[in-house]
Amino acid sequence: MDFFITDLFISKAYAQQGAPQASLFDMLWPMLLIFGAFWFLLIRPQQKKQKAHQELVSNVSVGDEVLTAGGILGRVTGVSEHYAVLSISDSTEIKIQKSSISQVVPKGTFDEA
């Protein structure tokens, strides 16, 4: 009778076959899928934005009205390879790095400000 009661409350453990081994591709495709998602959602748009900014900075010329990353609005009076000179008022000019230019604003914006 004791044997029957222990079988009723404690189930027997049976050996199972080992899990099938996954191939290398089965293990890598989720990581490749995640990398592809990161590429198209994060990396690629950032590269496009960086390329557009580099093109903007390289096309800055004398007479352009620009806005810097610090919020300074001015007219470009001089340009070198890495620097630009901005006129921010009648008697004030500043020298900035060209990479700090965030956008070129439409002509006449500086005169209105």
Residue 17 is assigned to a structural domain of this protein: no
* SS3 category, 106: coil
Enter the pTM of the model.
0.69
∠ CA(84), CA(89), CA(94), 5° rounding? 30
Residue 88 is assigned to a structural domain of this protein: yes
Model confidence at 1, pLDDT cuts 50, 70, 90, reads: low
Q: How many CB atoms lie within 10 A of CB 74?
A: 24
Answer whether 55's CB lies under 8 Å from 48's CB: no
Residue 1 is assigned to a structural domain of this protein: no
pLDDT at 8 over 90: no
Q: Could you report the per-residue pLDDT of 28-78, keeping only the tens digit for each?
A: 898 999 999 999 999 999 999 999 999 999 999 999 999 999 999 999 999
- CATH number of the domain encompassing residue 87: 2.30.30
Mean of pLDDT over the chain: 87
CA-based end-to-end distance of the chain: 99
Question: What pLDDT does residue 22 have?
Answer: 77
Determine the structural domain holding residue 90 and report its residue range.
Answer: 27-112
Could you say which DSSP state residue 82 is in? S
